[in-house]
Structure 1
Amino acid sequence: MTNSYEEIKDNDVLLVIGSNTTETHPIIGLEMKKAVRRGAKLIVIDPRKIELVRWSHDHLQLKPGTDVALLNCIMNVIIQENLADKTYIDERTQGYPALARSLEGYTPEYGEEVTGVAREKIIDAARTYARASKAGIYYTMGITQHTHGTDNVFAIANLALMTGNLGRRSTGVNPLRGQNNVQGSTDMGCVPPFYPGYQSVASPEVKARFERLWRAQLSSTPGLTATEMVDAAAEGNFRALYIKGENPVVSDPDMQHTVKALQNLDFLVVQDIFMTETARMADVILPAACFAEKEGTFTNSERRVQRVRKAVEPPGEAREDSWIIASLSSSMGYDISYDRIEDVFQEAGKAWPALGGMDYQRLEHRGLQWPCPTSDHPGTPYLFKGAFPKRIPAFTPVDYRPSEELPDSEYPLVLNTGRELFNYHTGTMTRRSPAVNKVMPRGYVEIHPEDARRLGIDKDQLVRVSSRRGSIDIHGLVSNRPLQGTVFIPFHFTEAAANMLTNTAVDPIARIPELKVCAVKLEPIENT
């Protein structure tokens, strides 16, 4: 996030796109509701009538996968009505003329045709956002999990830059991270192209600096992404895999493809706190400690680094992740030894100056937000105040292109997947709770009433949902929440796994799979 949680309540406009915030980030959702109570206008852009719609000034219920078209049309209106922040554009950006030219064909009429959102709603959303003095954009995986997910993010950044909504309090581009410490993991280099601090592995200078720090020879070739590793395993080009705290059998697209890929490995190691569907396939299972059984830090979506303190000892043979990793590394010939876990954090500060001013004493109470380069620096609540570091940001024109797999006569409906309030990720932890299982005991497929009537599906009837990759049997939930022609399935339930159906097509840049759009058909079980 460029900005902070506590700034949300002071937004005068919130644009929430591809984020079911009150169910997937309920505390942040509460902050959004506070802002609305204080007079802010809320614009929700989502194919479903999510709970947050009840609080919204307007709901732009677009067809899944048409985000770029809608955002470009909003920007077209802003340009046509002279609502862009020309001073900000001239002083702090570059490439605006090329962007403006690229948006000429994205009229509200075109937007209505492509996205299904009425032209009047597009115009009103553009005016509302552009005229705000403090407008923030909030998004999650409803934006990124597409074959054009990177283009979606570029379009969001273009909109914020065009209106001067970066570098000020209660504005910004704010991706809400999907799991605990996802931000901290990527900060520490758990993405193939980067060392800690988003420093390129392809840079000779960066590589040399990390070789000195770590006293080892390093590769300048980026590794494979998670989806690329699974594909390579399926092809026989990838022979061993070490999975920590992840359950790809249930969370990755095309479940059968993932299972076959893992079966094709010579050696699979899984490190986790529970026996997951993926762990059951492992040659070796390493029992790990949970959050309450270890020391260290987590970093949340607003870049806040927070202390984690051990409350209880790990059970049985379970060990802290850091202990397992260090022990394995030392047995394989590269000695890793630290007297305290704090030593690891201090090394992170040497590797990445944005953490250089932090230590455990300073993190004792509320934590600090990076960048925090010196010991007297207070941390950074929002980024880009006054100026952008290193270089002037450039607008990135992007054109709308359809999703990889669209409905046809055989598979006439669009499947959208996501989370629901009571469960988390693949249910590894939440579905072990009797209280949660009592409230949400099984999966479901949301079906628009008109689609249910046409298909002869009654309320709570068992239906078969099929795609080109497989089928699942699941209970139907007739609801006005999905857009007609679309269905929604939460992906937490392994016995009715949404990812048995989803597509492995990926974004060409980020390599993130298109989990939010694929073509399916529904049949009542009694009629099959």
Structure 2
Amino acid sequence: MPQTTHPGICRICSAHCGVLATVTDGRLTKVAGDPDNPMFKGYTCIKGRALPEIHNNPDRLLHSRKRLPDGTYTAIGSEQAMDEIAAALQELIAQHGPRSVAMYLGTNGLPYPASALMGNAFMRGIESPMFFTANTIDQPGKQIALAAHGHWLGGDVDFHEADSWMLVGTNPLVSKAIGIPGQNPSQNLRAAIERGMKLIVIDPRRSQTAARAAVHLQPRPGEDVTILAGIIHIIIDRQWHDPAFIDENVAGFDDLARAVAGFTPAYVAQRADVPEDQLRDAAETFATYGTKRGMVNAGTGANFALHGNLLEYLCLCLTTICGRWQRAGERVTRPNTLMPAFTAKAQPHPPYEGWGYGERLRVRGLTDTVAGMPTAALADEILLEGDGQVKALICIGGNPMAAWPDQRKTKRALESLELLVTLDTEMSLTSQLADYVIAPMMQMETPAMTMGSELIKYYTSGTGIPAAYGQYVPRIVEPPAGSDLIEEWRFFLGLTKRMGLELWFVNFFGGGGGRFMESPPVVLPINAETDLTTEELFAQMCSTSRIPLDEVRSHPHGKIFDVDAVVQERDPDCADRLDVGNTHMLDELNAVRAENYALRQDVSEFPFRLIPRRHQNFINSSGTALPALHRGKPFNPLYMHPEAMAGLGLQSGAAVSVTSGHDTVAAVVEADPTLRRDVVAMHHAFGGLPEEDAGFREHGTNVGRLVPTDTEYDPVTGLPRQGDIAVRVCAHGETSTG
């Protein structure tokens, strides 16, 4: 039985870990960390090690499927499917206009950079503005805040050199997403603490990350803005800010000082239910410890409550008034490798328009934004009849029935479409409603490179690989014998040819990166004559890279390149400033201060607050049915403090009903002493269809069903309250009124 082992790249998340992939008799049989990879040094996580089970999943689709009139599915060749889909799209566009076609890009599109880019080019080619991504139902405040605040062109402080770091509502030891570098985050944090770095964590749960913090504030959920405003107030009051940096680079400082004046330590302590002395310790540790290097990052948990834009803005303001950015003469933390070289400068890029432009949705006054179109409003755009109604939806790497808020509305919307197409490796909840399910190739069946892990730094601070690192790997395993699989980007190329379109493929899209690149983007014409392999397309995408792709390719285990990039001095004529006094943001902060917060703390009807929680073994809904990942627990428990459970007469493993002001779901309760007594937590993106509630022990619980999209939502991004949800809990089958 022939067996070979190859260097590879795991693309389950944005960390892009270097791995070793073993192929036995043509099948992927083992994935392990690559000890010869200079960045990851043998590290990988359980999700990466389960790639063989993911590839060889018995439920994997090896042929595309078409829905028949009786609701069953039949296999269909990918070429015939593209013929029929292209004809259906042309008919819909002719009848209802380009806006009738929408696209949704989920997080599972990230492993395949050409897929997202070609999908975006296709939408521009048919002249539809209805391109939506998972970004606006997760953390869109990051891009909104950067637009309001501006960017520091010198880049982030290096975590490996920081004296203190503050994390708000994020657990990067599990998510590997932000703050602590995702290349073995546990080891990176351990090394930082051993050299003396002080970690500050704000989280209602004593998470794996919070357990290692020098200061852990464990507040009521939803009060992160209150706490950050209070910390800024203390720092300004004690004059721990950086006046020289502010004088040269910052506007709006006096406005910010006035806006936080009411967030006194006593007020914040009472409202957020944190000790006043602990609040002061957090402020002092961050602002004064060591040589005063470090940053502030927030995560999904904090962004899922309301005020995510303001939260991220205050993170930037706190970082800025303390001068926590790389300065002239210091090493550039994240120099590009497969993206173009750039000149980092110790100066601001000024704020820019972040919302209120482009396409206007027909609901809730929402518009396009720098974070993208408001995905939480897409179901309404499908259901709302009249001019501009969405009639067709194409999903790449996404599972709206598991991920979107208000699952019942989502189901009504998807069932009402005239055409629903998914590109999916299995019959997910969304694919079970689709007209066509296109079976794509998977990770190790396609070439891979780390360009995407570089691009992400343009979207927010605290992300990306902190080195001039790059890796490229060829295809490692062939698709299963007898299968008919297509690379996702080639599906859109097939539609382009059939519809007679002329596309312009750009090697990035959205608000990230374009305005800061010194080299123009790579733009490729795509039409009926285009004949490219993925390898050739990658070469074109990297044609302006700092390190030539051929050089990166010559180091199969990846390489940290010798790039002598330091932050340059400020331009003599630079008058730009970062803005910590944005009117929209400070008006929202004033509204937060004016709230009658006692009403929010009335727990008579809903005594618990439900918060989200990352899962060590899953990225959203992917792989939840695989025994190698769920290890006998395919559901997402309702985590609850043991004392709260005892008060309700519950034991771990019991079935419970969880009720919000919008809906009720069934779940399995599990004791967790790391939570506050008044907080419960669940992983999102589990569960079945709404009519499958009885199977919650087999497939988990859909948290999104508890979330309405049109009552409490951000007026800029449309992001509804998906965390800090007021709920009550009772034994399943009982009736509770609070």
TM range (shorter): 0.7 to 0.9
Q: In the TM superposition, what is the alpha-carbon distance from 1:458 to its structure 2 partner?
A: 2.5
Partner of 1:510: 717
Change (3 A) 1:477 1:154: same
Aligned counterparts, 1:347-386, within 5 A? 348=541, 357=546, 359-364=548-553, 365=555, 378=563, 386=569
Match of 2:499 among 332, 355, 359: 332
Q: 1:162 pairs with 321, 324, 327, which one?
A: 321
Flag structure 1 segments of 5+ consecutive residues without an equivalent: 175-183, 185-197, 204-219, 370-375
Compared CA separation, residues 255 and 160, structure 1 to 2 (3 A)? same
Given the superposition, is the C-alpha separation of residues 37 and 234 from structure 1 closer, same or farther in structure 2, using an over 3 Å criterion? farther
Aligned to 2:405: 253
Provide the rounded CA distance (Å) in 2 between the counterparts of 1:34 and 1:327.
49
- Residue equivalent to 1:418: 613
- Secondary structure of 2:426 counterpart: coil
**Residue 171 of structure 2: aligned partner:** 20
- Shifted more, 110-119 versus 79-88: the winner is 110-119
2:643 aligned with 1:450, yes or no?
yes
Contact 1:83 1:163 in 2 (8 A): yes
Matches of 1:390 and 1:286 in 2, distance apart? Answer: 52
Specify the alignment match of 1:206 in structure 2.
none
- Aligned residue-pair number: 474
Instruction: Return closer, same or farther for 1:121/1:225 CA change in 2, 3 Å cut-off.
Output: same
Change over 3 Å in CA distance of 1:418–1:329 after alignment to 2 = farther
In the TM superposition, residue 447 of structure 1 has moved relative to its aligned partner by 1.3
Question: Is the deviation greater in 220-229 or in 392-401?
Answer: 220-229
Name 1:493's counterpart in structure 2. 686
* Equivalent residues of 1:108, 1:119 under 8 A apart: yes
* Contact residue 503 and residue 518 of structure 1 kept, 8 A: no
1:199–1:115 distance in 2 versus 1, CA, 3 Å = closer
Query: Corresponding residue for 2:298?
Result: 139
Distance 1:200 1:69 in 2: 24
Residue aligning to 1:116: 273
In 1, distance between residues paired with 2:311 and 2:354?
24
The separation in 2 between residues aligned to 1:363 and 1:474, in whole angstroms, is 48
Give 3-state SS (helix, strand or coil) of 2:206's partner: coil
- Structure 1 Cα separation of the partners of residues 368 and 191 of structure 2: 47
User: Is the 2:220–2:272 contact (alpha carbons within 8 Å) kept by the matching residues of 1?
Assistant: yes
2:490 to 316, 323, 327: 323
Letter of the 1:260 counterpart: R
Distance 1:201 1:327 in 2: 34
- Name the amino acid aligned to 1:73: G
2:608·2:680 contact (CA, 8 Å) conserved in 1?
yes
The CA deviation at 1:296 is 4.8
Query: Secondary structure of the residue that 1:483 maps to in structure 2?
Result: coil
Larger Rg: 2
What letter matches 1:436 in structure 2?
L
- Counterpart of 1:187? none
Give the distance between the partners of 2:311 and 2:325, measured in 1 at CA: 17
1:508–1:110 Cα change, 3 Å: same
Aligned to 2:730: 523
8 Å contact 2:199–2:214 — kept in the other structure?
yes
Deviation per residue, 1:361-402 (Å, 9 max, x gap): 244348799xxxxxx994979xx7655999321113531637
- The answer to whether the Cα contact below 8 Å between 2:266 and 2:276 also exists between their aligned partners in 1 is yes
Distance in 2, Cα, partners of 1:514 & 1:338: 46
Shift of 1:439: 5.5
SS in 1 for 2:645: helix
Report if the CA contact (8 A) 2:251-2:578 is conserved. yes
> Which residue matches 2:675?
482
2:626 is aligned with 1:469: no
Q: Which residue of 1 aligns with 2:284?
A: 127
- Distance in 1 separating the partners of 2:671 and 2:288: 39
Where do 1:47-446 residues align within 5 Å?
47-132=204-289, 133-168=292-327, 224-236=373-385, 237-298=389-450, 299-300=452-453, 301=456, 302-303=463-464, 306-315=471-480, 316-335=483-502, 336=526, 337-341=530-534, 344-345=537-538, 348=541, 357=546, 359-364=548-553, 365=555, 378=563, 386-387=569-570, 391-395=576-580, 396=582, 398=586, 399=589, 401=592, 408-426=603-621, 428-429=622-623, 431-438=624-631, 440-446=633-639
What amino acid does structure 1 have at the position aligned with 2:730? E
Report how far residue 308 of structure 1 moved: 4.9
Q: Does residue 159 of structure 2 align to residue 8 of structure 1?
A: yes
Q: CA–CA distance in 1 between the matches of 2:282 and 2:685? A: 33
User: Could you tell me whether the CA contact under 8 Å between 2:298 and 2:312 is conserved in 1?
Assistant: no
Aligned partners of 1:74 and 1:125 also within 8 Å: yes
Q: CA deviation at 1:284?
A: 0.9
Q: State the distance in 1 between where 2:673 and 2:569 align.
A: 45
Contact 2:658 2:667 in 1 (8 A): yes
The letter of the residue matching 1:518 is I
Shift of 1:134: 1.5
SS of alignment partner, residue 393 of structure 2: strand
Q: Deviations over 1:200-220 (max 9, x none)?
A: 9979xxxxxxxxxxxxxxxx9
- For 1:327 and 1:200, the matched residues in 2 are separated by 34
- State the alpha-carbon separation in 1 of the partners of residues 414 and 475 from structure 2: 34
RMSD across aligned C-alpha pairs, in angstroms?
3.6
User: Which amino acid letter does the alignment assign opposite residue 138 of structure 1?
Assistant: N
Q: Work out whether residues 407 and 518 of structure 1, in 8 Å CA contact, stay in contact via their aligned partners in 2.
A: no
Deviates more, 1:9-18 or 1:246-255: 9-18
**What per-residue deviation string (whole Å, max 9, x for no partner) do you get for residues 432-456 of structure 1?**
4323222544321111233223322
**Whole-Å separation in 1 of the counterparts to 2:394 and 2:407:** 19
Distance 2:733 2:410 in 1: 30
How much has 1:314 moved relative to structure 2?
3.0
Output the CA distance in 2 between the equivalents of 1:367 and 1:418: 32
Task: Return the letter of the residue paired with 1:128.
Answer: T
Residues in 2 aligned to 1:54 and 1:221: alpha-carbon distance in whole angstroms: 39
Structure 2 vs 1, CA of residues 200 and 330 (structure 1 numbering), >3 Å: closer, same or farther?
farther
Looking at structure 2, the residues matched to 309 and 516 of structure 1 have their Cα atoms a distance apart, in angstroms, of 41
- Indicate the SS of the match to 1:135: coil
Q: SS of 1:68's equivalent?
A: helix
Q: Secondary structure at the match of 2:295?
A: strand
Distance 1:470 1:200 in 2: 31
**Alignment partner of 2:423: what SS?**
strand
> Does structure 1 retain, via aligned residues, the 8 Å contact 2:157–2:325?
no
Residue 22 of structure 2 aligns with which residue? none
| 2:706 partner amino acid | L
Alignment CA distance shift 1:407-1:295 (3 Å):
farther
Taking the aligned partners of 1:415 and 1:502, their CA distance within structure 2 comes to 11
TM-aligned CA distance change 1:447 to 1:326, over 3 Å = same
CA contact (8 A) 1:405 1:518 kept: no
Query: In structure 2, do the counterparts of structure 1 residues 82 and 405 end up closer, same or farther at CA, with 3 Å as the change threshold?
Result: closer
What is the deviation of 1:475? 1.6
* Higher relative contact order structure (alpha carbons within 8 Å, sequence separation ≥ 6): 2
SS at match of 1:97: helix
Q: After TM superposition, give the deviation of residue 317 of structure 1 in Å.
A: 1.5
CA distance in 2, matches of 1:127, 1:201: 38
Query: Residues 357 and 377 of structure 1 are in contact (CA less than 8 Å); yes or no, is this contact kept in structure 2?
Result: no
Residue number in structure 2 paired with 1:45? 202
**In structure 2, do the counterparts of structure 1 residues 109 and 410 end up closer, same or farther at CA, with 3 Å as the change threshold?**
same
Supply the distance in 2 between the matched residues of 1:413 and 1:168 (Cα, whole angstroms): 45
